[in-house]
Amino acid sequence: MTIKEAQEAVDKWISTYGVRYFNELTNMAILTEEVGEVARIIARTYGEQSKGRADIETENLADELSDVMFVLVCLANQTGIDLEQAFQKNLQKKTSRDFERHQQNDKLRYPRPRT
């Protein structure tokens, strides 16, 4: 599925099942909530926080990342942004701005010592 197809699929889902888009402020709050759920899983899986029983029973990183993507696509749709075009433009910007920056960063070349 392309990004454009994802935007079309979300728009179709909203018009079929969702009645209408939530307003932009509501979707921004929902996006923040969904990113928080991703952060919780990452902190407990890859970070130093321990998992509780509820975390083990409910965590699903793929599903939470998909929730983030869904709400992000909603925001793009309702604000008239072609995400595929915007993403291509963003990659071009990063490429021209950072083409040597990361390769010259010694912090990325060598493992960082644990403290």
Domains contained in the chain, number? 1
Instruction: HSE, CB side, 13 Å, CA atoms: give it for residue 23.
Output: 1
Domain of 61, CATH number, reads 1.10.287.1080
Helix (H), strand (E) counts: the chain? 6, 0
Residue type, 30: I
Tell me whether residue 115 is in a domain: no
Confidence category of residue 36, pLDDT binned at 50, 70, 90? very high
Per mean pLDDT, which range of 17-21, 30-34, 85-89, 103-107 is the poorest?
103-107
Supply the DSSP symbol for 47: S
Tell me whether residue 111 is in a domain: no
Tell me whether residue 68 is in a domain: yes
> What domain range is 47 assigned to?
3-83
How far apart CA 32 and CA 35 sit, in angstroms, is: 5
| Averaged pLDDT for residues 59-68 | 94
Give the pLDDT score at 31. Answer: 98
* pLDDT of 113 above 70: no
Tell me whether residue 100 is in a domain: no
How far is residue 49 CA from its own chain's centroid? 22
Give the pLDDT score at 104. Answer: 81
Tell me whether residue 97 is in a domain: no
* pLDDT of 115 above 60: no
Tell me whether residue 95 is in a domain: no
Give the pLDDT score at 64. Answer: 96
